[in-house]
Structure 1
Amino acid sequence: MKRTISALSVLAAALLISAPPAQAAAPDPVRSLKAKLVSGHGVHFTEVSNWSDGVYTLQADTGEGVLQFGKKGVAGYDLRGSTWDDEKYRIISAGDTTYYSGAIYELPKGKTWYASEGGGALPTIYGQILNPAELATLSALVKNGTKAGNKITGKITFSDLAKVSPWFSGTVLTDWADDTEISYTLTLNSAGLVAKLSTSYRAKDVTDDFSDFEGGIISVDTRYSGWGGKVSVKAPNPKTVTDQLAE
């Protein structure tokens, strides 16, 4: 009996030693983001946008910049971009105004910035249509998606996105087909924050001003870094700004 008890004790000890340590639960992405939403802080991003007709693919846009946070999400941004034909532009959103410079608009002599009412929305059609710095948007993406490892994949319609995202709902895209589906893949870092976001959708029932986009597939890969670091987005010098276009 003593020998049996002794043998069982040795076996139990061996099992305890060889048992793998319990893995910590993966960080919740929404909770991780919420901890970073501090005014005066933000995140850096770079992105590449493509347009395709299903056969031919064109690199339509590249960009880099920063998103500045408020208590509930994006309070402003500063984006420097380049078009497919290497035309440069810059867009700044500060407060309730967005400022455009470069390839997008022709301006009166002596002015370098065009001011437009409305701020905090998607800068261009080729920009990243989903904004993972918005709490409600990220929550919807996580809820609708399927998680495997550090990736979350899913789909969300324009109409559902408009309900949660100021980034999207402030754009002309809300006038396109409500049932348009955006396919997405979120890649999370070890802290549960978004390190990469890939999206694609096919444009349909577009407005007349964007008829060339009809049927085209727009896809964007965006990488994020420096979550929670200090950033500063400032409006341009008022002397360089106009709300009129060149005649």
Structure 2
Amino acid sequence: MRRWAVPLVAVALAAALPQPGTAQAGTLRADAAAGAVPASGAGGALTAQATQTARTTQAARTTETARTTETRQAAWTAQGAPSPVTALRRHFAEHTGLRISDVGRVYRDGKAVVTIWRRGRVEFDASGVYATDTTGRTEAGRGAIREFEGLIGRRLGSTRVICFPDEAYLSGPGYETWLPEGKSWLGLIGPANIKQTAALPQIVNVFEPATLGALLSHSSVKRKLPSGTYRQGTVTLRTLYRVSPSFRDRLAGPPKGRSAKITVGFRLWLDRSNLARRLTTTWRQPVPGTPERPTVTVADTRYTGWGSDVTLAPPPPEDTADAGRVGGDFSPPPALPVG
């Protein structure tokens, strides 16, 4: 299989973001398989019994996971909540996961020209994000956005992306032209873009301890809330590039000159266990040729279900086409033009 990076999706008039989105890869395949077979006679009874057993097992696992999470959170509260970075690393060590949902909008002249919705799940391992399974939808405005769609040769529509450290699987608008009949997934091998995919359309990746630490150290406002803690501040693109591997993956090179001084305003809500539950960011970027009409990008991400038992899996091999064998060449993924 040839080596390709995970494709990106437009998020600004001249900027591109990976096309993300949510998945149910952790659900029991036994349920889906059993549900597709009509129950009739003895075979139907066995199928129904198997389905009920699978559902009971899944319910038991969900209940046990919830109890374990509640016990863990209670213990941490009794001991005093750890620092946000320590709390994050504990979830890495315990190989848990969580759910994410976000919306990102790019504004120009006060009007939203691009909107991206995404929902999904994240699986951790000892080093951080191990896998993501997300489903997203993009809506583009008129004029320049349609021109951009023409340039990249595909619509910015819904897509599903499943990523692991060394492989990615994509399905949805823009990928069908590469797929032979009977295949619904395009399989790629390439650089480990897993952290990048987990963060977008959010420009700041709080799953990176160094990035989370940078937000905490650059907070100019800190307030205690009944639900946890609120932080607010700004961080420059130069700082973000220095601390965030996923942000570096999105740029063609380090931001320079005025671009390096562009600030990203952030608001971060932490729960009582010091885990992120919401992050909003806002940043303004000049558009080449019309610097007086910059784009303003606003992203709002919610994090729920910390400590969930998430085990993600690739799509079935029989539904997947190898990108190195479907013919033709892929264009290099566009990079965020900062610098």
When normalised by structure 1's length, the TM-score is 0.76
Compute the displacement of 1:45 (Å).
0.6
Question: CA 1:234 to 1:124, structure 2 compared with 1: closer, same or farther past 3 Å?
Answer: closer
Secondary structure, in 3 states, of the residue corresponding to 2:171?
A: strand
Cα-to-partner distance string for 1:78-135 (whole Å, 9 max, x where unaligned): 1111111693201121022233221243323234224251231423996111111211
Fraction of identical pairs, as percent: 26
Equivalence for 1:179:
261
Distance 2:188 2:267 in 1: 34
Equivalence for 2:201:
127
Equivalence for 1:78:
133
Tell me which of 109, 112, 119 is aligned to 2:180.
109
Distance 1:227 1:233 in 2: 16
* Aligned: 1:87 with 2:167: no
Tell me which of 37, 45, 48 is aligned to 2:100.
45
Cα-to-partner distance string for 1:56-96 (whole Å, 9 max, x where unaligned): 12461111011221223212211111111693201121022
Cα-to-partner distance string for 1:26-69 (whole Å, 9 max, x where unaligned): 65212222222136421111111111014112461111011221
Q: Aligned partner of 2:101: which letter? A: T
**Higher share in helix:** 2
Distance 2:191 2:174 in 1: 17
Equivalence for 1:195:
277
Tell me which of 32, 35, 43 is aligned to 2:87.
32
Equivalence for 1:7:
none
Distance 1:205 1:221 in 2: 23
Q: Aligned partner of 1:234: which letter? A: A
Cα-to-partner distance string for 1:166-194 (whole Å, 9 max, x where unaligned): 22222237566333321111011111111
Secondary structure, in 3 states, of the residue corresponding to 2:93?
A: coil
* Mapped contact 2:97–2:310 kept (Cα < 8 A): yes
How many residues align? The count is 219
Equivalence for 1:160:
239
Compute the displacement of 1:158 (Å).
2.1
CA-based RMSD: 3.0
Larger displacement relative to structure 2 (107-116 or 225-234): 107-116
Larger displacement relative to structure 2 (121-130 or 56-65): 121-130
Tell me which of 311, 316, 336 is aligned to 1:237.
316
* Mapped contact 1:39–1:68 kept (Cα < 8 A): no
* Aligned: 1:96 with 2:166: yes
Larger displacement relative to structure 2 (138-147 or 174-183): 174-183
Secondary structure, in 3 states, of the residue corresponding to 1:45?
A: strand
Can you give the 5+ residue segments of structure 1 that lack an aligned partner in the other structure?
1-23
Question: CA 1:57 to 1:205, structure 2 compared with 1: closer, same or farther past 3 Å?
Answer: closer
Secondary structure, in 3 states, of the residue corresponding to 1:216?
A: strand
Structure having the higher Rg: 1
Distance 2:207 2:196 in 1: 12
* Aligned: 1:139 with 2:213: yes
Distance 1:154 1:190 in 2: 20
* Mapped contact 2:179–2:186 kept (Cα < 8 A): no
* Mapped contact 2:167–2:187 kept (Cα < 8 A): no
